[in-house]
């Protein structure tokens, strides 16, 4: 058996250390079905994916029962997974001028035919919001060797009380802000507004602004000597734009700085001491940094409350992108963009476990020697897709199940009804 498989088996054993006996073995089999791409073959069906792994019929049922009824929480699994990564010492958190980036985003597993689905999420392919299981993701960004990696610390599901996705977004910002250490910064995309960050009391943030973003100075302009005294500061327009047939010029920046990125020169315009466009002086202050990169057509508008250089703000925002790797590895690489589970608990648990499995696969791929897809792959890179192709040839008879707590629960079940008789089906009472 390959050393990679033994390594994955050891990591899974350490991650499932706090899961009760029996449930941990069912999740162990499920993780290997996910990591080996069995859900790609079964097109998202749970039973065929486990059966394709080579499990016996009772083992398949136990694994499905672990997902549906097992006594575990994704938060505890994430905490154990973080401990495993810290113990190995291969993950190096990024730091820029004393601040560590923590990325945050929303993702969705679309279920257009699922009845009583809690939420909806917009998709550009359908150009409308479709029923989906929406999850909030938060994690610290760093590197494992040459590869950037995000270690998830929070996977937040949409509850029945969240009437819209905005409620989930608000809860996500609140919990993400509470999880920040004293030297960590929350880095998010334009889907989150600065007003929501202030309302959620996020202490430090870097958020992308819109191209038509406007703000006001946090102080009043000198009184011109006539007319009514101003109540709002001067309007600041970081980028020029057109309104009808009139061109609105950009406000001159407070400072201009530049730096080299390879052979390209990047210029940043800085606007300090701003408040929102509908607020008066004395409200929550922040800064705006507009990044002009010659490799891109549109400039990048970043908003932050940090007193650091524009270069550090640019570096912090670039580390937002690893959060996109979590749903990419879970849905496209492992095949869980189609999840055929319908229970009220399993419809959330399977996407959560898939996200964790994708992160484990990315971490293992970054910590082992690159695996070539074939003789044509002469410059193999440590990607999760290449590693998944190797694991796809794995059979259950070859799986090295660690000894100890990871075992089948020896429970007496001979006296319990099984099959159809266990459903306890009864006729509906007459109305």
The pLDDT averaged over each successive group of 10 residues in the chain (431 residues) is 81 88 88 89 88 87 88 92 93 93 90 78 79 89 91 88 80 92 92 88 92 90 82 90 86 93 93 91 91 93 93 94 90 86 85 93 89 83 85 74 67 67 62 56
- Answer yes or no: do 205 and 173 share one domain: no
- Answer yes or no: do 390 and 339 share one domain: yes
| Assigned domain for 30 exists | yes
- Answer yes or no: do 45 and 129 share one domain: yes
HSE of 263, CA atoms in CB hemisphere, 13 A = 0
- Answer yes or no: do 59 and 140 share one domain: yes
- Answer yes or no: do 332 and 262 share one domain: no
- Answer yes or no: do 113 and 34 share one domain: yes
| Assigned domain for 294 exists | yes
| Assigned domain for 151 exists | yes
**The pTM is what?**
0.88
- Answer yes or no: do 155 and 279 share one domain: no
| Assigned domain for 310 exists | no
- Answer yes or no: do 338 and 289 share one domain: no
| Assigned domain for 129 exists | yes
- Residue 326 CA to residue 329 CA, distance in Å, equals 5
- Answer yes or no: do 158 and 38 share one domain: yes
Q: Is 119 helix (H, G, I), strand (E, B) or coil?
A: strand
Calculate the dihedral angle through the C-alpha atoms of 110, 196, 193, 336, rounding to the nearest 10 degrees: -20
- Answer yes or no: do 174 and 223 share one domain: no
| Rounded CA Rg of the chain | 26
| Assigned domain for 103 exists | yes
Class of residue 101 by CB neighbours under 10 A (exposed 0-12, middle 13-18, buried 19+):
buried
Buried b / exposed e over 30-51, threshold 16 CB at 10 Å, is: bbbbbbbbbbbebebbbebbbb
- CA 304 from centroid of its chain's CA atoms: 21
The helix (run of H) or strand (run of E) holding residue 66 is helix 57-69
- Answer yes or no: do 23 and 170 share one domain: yes
- Answer yes or no: do 150 and 230 share one domain: no
Cα separations in angstroms, 290 against 63, 209, 276, 305, 422 = 51, 9, 16, 14, 64
Q: How many domains does the chain have?
A: 2
pLDDT of residue 368: 86
| Assigned domain for 411 exists | no
Query: Which DSSP string do the residues of 252-282 spell out, in sequence order?
Result: PPSEEEEEEETTEEEEEEEEEEEEETT--TT
Domain span holding position 141: 3-182+323-398
| Assigned domain for 365 exists | yes
């Amino acid at each position: 058996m390959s050393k990679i498989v033994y390594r994955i088996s050891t990591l899974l054993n350490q991650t499932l250390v706090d899961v009760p006996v029996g449930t941990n073995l069912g999740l162990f089999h499920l993780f290997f079905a996910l990591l080996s791409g069995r859900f790609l073959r079964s097109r998202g069906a749970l039973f065929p994916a486990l059966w394709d792994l080579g499990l016996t019929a009772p083992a398949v049922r136990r694994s499905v029962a672990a997902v549906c009824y097992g006594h575990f929480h994704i938060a505890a699994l994430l905490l154990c997974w973080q401990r495993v990564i810290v113990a190995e010492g291969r993950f190096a958190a990024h730091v820029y001028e004393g601040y560590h980036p923590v990325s945050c985003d929303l993702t969705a597993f679309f279920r257009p035919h699922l009845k009583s689905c809690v939420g909806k999420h917009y998709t550009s392919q359908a150009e409308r919001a479709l029923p989906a299981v929406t999850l909030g993701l938060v994690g610290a960004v760093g590197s494992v060797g040459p590869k950037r990696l995000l270690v998830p610390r929070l996977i937040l599901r949409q509850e029945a009380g969240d009437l819209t996705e905005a409620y989930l977004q608000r809860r996500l910002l609140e919990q993400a802000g509470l999880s920040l250490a004293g030297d960590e910064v929350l880095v998010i995309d334009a889907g989150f507004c600065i007003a929501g960050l202030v309302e959620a009391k996020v202490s430090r943030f870097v958020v992308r602004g819109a191209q038509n973003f406007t703000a006001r100075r946090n102080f009043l302009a000198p009184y011109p000597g006539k007319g009514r005294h101003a109540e709002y500061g001067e309007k600041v327009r970081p980028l020029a734009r057109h309104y009808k047939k009139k061109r609105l010029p950009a406000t001159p920046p407070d400072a201009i700085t530049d730096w080299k990125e390879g052979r390209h020169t990047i210029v940043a315009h800085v606007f300090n001491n701003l408040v929102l466009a509908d607020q008066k002086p004395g409200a929550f202050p922040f800064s705006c940094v507009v990044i002009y990169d010659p490799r891109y057509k549109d400039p990048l508008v970043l908003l932050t409350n940090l007193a650091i250089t524009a270069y550090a703000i640019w570096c912090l925002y670039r580390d937002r992108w690893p959060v996109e790797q979590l749903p990419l590895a879970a849905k496209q690489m492992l095949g869980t963009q189609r999840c055929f589970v319908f229970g009220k608990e399993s419809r959330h648990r399977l996407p959560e476990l898939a996200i964790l499995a994708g992160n484990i696969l990315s971490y293992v791929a970054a910590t082992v020697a690159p695996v070539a897809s074939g003789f044509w792959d002469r410059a193999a890179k440590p990607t999760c897709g290449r590693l998944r192709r190797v694991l796809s040839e794995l059979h259950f008879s070859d799986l090295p199940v660690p000894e100890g707590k990871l075992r089948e629960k020896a429970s007496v079940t001979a006296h319990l009804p099984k099959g159809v008789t266990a459903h306890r089906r009864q006729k509906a009472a007459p109305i």
